[in-house]
Amino acid sequence: MKTKSIFIAMMLVVFTFLVGCNSDNQASDGSEKLTVYTTIFPLEDFTKKIGGEHVDVKPVFPAGADAHTFEPSAKTMSEMASADAFIFTGVGVEGFADKAKEVLGNEDVKIVGAAEGIELRPEGGESDHDAHGDEHSDEAHNEEHDDEHSDEAHDEEHSDEHSDEAHNKEHDDEHSDEAHDEEHGDEHSDEAHDEEHGDEHSDEAHDEEHGDEHGDEHTQDGHEEHDHSNGDPHVWLDPTLSITLAENIKNALVELKPEAKEDFEANFETLKADLEKLDTEFKETVDSAKTKKLLVSHAAYGYWENRYGLEQISVTGLSPTQEPSQKQLTEIINTAKENEIKYVIFDQNISGKIAEVVKDEIKAEALVLHNLEAATEEDVKNGADYFSLMRQNLETLKKALN
């Protein structure tokens, strides 16, 4: 009898252990959890807050990753292919997103662009002091070429050069088309350059054909994976726009697991109220500040300009790889000195070497704003969430603006 009791006790222990091992994949009602992969930290945090016990959230980005340049491993992509959903911004910040959509599109994985429905702030918005924003405006273009051509002469010269009629007339007597291509293949006259090299156009042709898609930041070798041609992707830093991110996540979870709709809706409403409160805190902080100007290493904070009236002077563009020319760097330093800026704001996950040059030149102090693209190891250790990190940012703003 004693041996039988010991056996039963051992079986109960084994059963309890097995249930415990499986509990992470089960909701309290016994149904399986949804497995959801997310990219930037706010999407991870919002999905956890809305999904609650019904969702197992797995971040694609490791701690401290740069969202603009990170590429997941083949192993991670394989694991993502077996998930229920992949949630990303859908506005160009994740460099690997197109590849992921192509791979996951062949699997039964719901792909969710959380920023769907948000109108992006144009790159180099009206109040943006980013030196890259107006790089190819007509004014900057004319100023750059002022010693070579007046506006009238410039237009006249290039309008004739690039018309098919002028091209044919100039070369008709000298070369047949075949001879022209053979003789001038390696030469880069304006006409041959435009015809043969597509994206390697002169500034004028480049601007006409590509609009704002590619400035000097996006050279031919440049960063297709960081294509911000549709505008500023850093929407999650605006608490009000983050409500839309959260709502799109909630809708996707409801579609995947309609039986948990009531829980998802309730959790979303709580999150929405918290975001509205945070928005009020940002407004109060900026409204009471002595200055509205920020010198930042990375142009991630444009939505704070739109929402709260801040003015960011940025060293690099929307992607940290978009570095300024020497002329632009000089303009940034002069602007900082004219406005007596005492702080240079760095990102938590980007080195900002050029911003260090600016800091030393203007003898400023370094501060850090968290762009929330990815949590740091310390953030993970401390159990940080979207709100704790954004309130850290508020403390940084209070110091930088006062």
Query: Confidence class of residue 106 from pLDDT cuts 50, 70 and 90?
Result: confident
The pLDDT of residue 319:
78
**Residue of 27, 16, 21 lying closest to 264 (CA atoms):** 27
The pLDDT of residue 230:
73
Q: Is the pLDDT assigned to residue 44 strictly greater than 70?
A: yes
> Are 67 and 373 in contact, with CB atoms under 8 Å apart?
yes
> What's the rounded mean pLDDT across residues 82-96?
94
> What's the rounded mean pLDDT across residues 138-154?
41
> Are 342 and 207 in contact, with CB atoms under 8 Å apart?
no
Kindly list the structural domains of the chain, giving each domain's residue range(s) and its CATH number in brackets, ordered by start. Answer: 25-122+232-273 (3.40.50.1980), 138-210 (no CATH), 290-400 (3.40.50.1980)
Maximum alpha-carbon separation in the chain: 112
The pLDDT of residue 28:
54
Strands (E), 14-141: 34-38, 55-59, 85-88, 110-113
pLDDT top residue among 212 and 351? 351
Half-sphere exposure for 221 (CA within 13 Å, toward CB) = 1
**pTM of the full structure:** 0.69
> What's the rounded mean pLDDT across residues 81-101?
92
> Are 61 and 45 in contact, with CB atoms under 8 Å apart?
no
Distances in whole angstroms, Cα of residue 339 to Cα of each of 291, 295, 356: 10, 10, 18
The pLDDT of residue 150:
41
The pLDDT of residue 191:
42
Report the range of poorest mean pLDDT among 31-40, 123-132, 282-291: 123-132
Angle between helices 239-256 and 261-287 (to 10 degrees): 170
Amino acid at 137: S
d(CA 41, CA 98): 19
Q: Is the pLDDT assigned to residue 265 strictly greater than 90?
A: yes
Q: Is the pLDDT assigned to residue 362 strictly greater than 60?
A: yes
Q: Is the pLDDT assigned to residue 401 strictly greater than 50?
A: yes
The pLDDT of residue 30:
55
The pLDDT of residue 57:
98
Query: Confidence class of residue 388 from pLDDT cuts 50, 70 and 90?
Result: very high
Q: Is the pLDDT assigned to residue 187 strictly greater than 70?
A: no
* Phi-psi group of 227: left, alpha or beta (phi > 0 → left; psi -120 to 50 → alpha; rest → beta): beta
Report the range of poorest mean pLDDT among 79-83, 99-103, 267-271: 99-103
- Kindly state the percentage of the chain with pLDDT values over 70: 66
Residue 331's Cα: distance from chain center in Å? 25
d(CA 145, CA 143): 5
Query: Confidence class of residue 132 from pLDDT cuts 50, 70 and 90?
Result: very low
Angle between helices 41-51 and 261-287 (to 10 degrees): 130
pLDDT top residue among 319 and 100? 100
User: pLDDT tens, 193-250?
Assistant: 444 444 444 444 443 343 333 333 333 333 333 444 479 999 999 999 999 999 999 9
The pLDDT of residue 26:
57
> What's the rounded mean pLDDT across residues 41-68?
95
Residue reference for tokens 């043969």: 196
DSSP-assigned letter for residue 54? G
The pLDDT of residue 352:
80
| β-strands 55-59, 34-38 pairing | parallel
Residue reference for tokens 């975001």: 275
Annotate 170-235 with DSSP letters as a single string: HHTTT--HHHHHHHHTT---HHHHHHHHGGG--HHHHHHHHTTS--TTS-TTS-GGG--TT-B--G
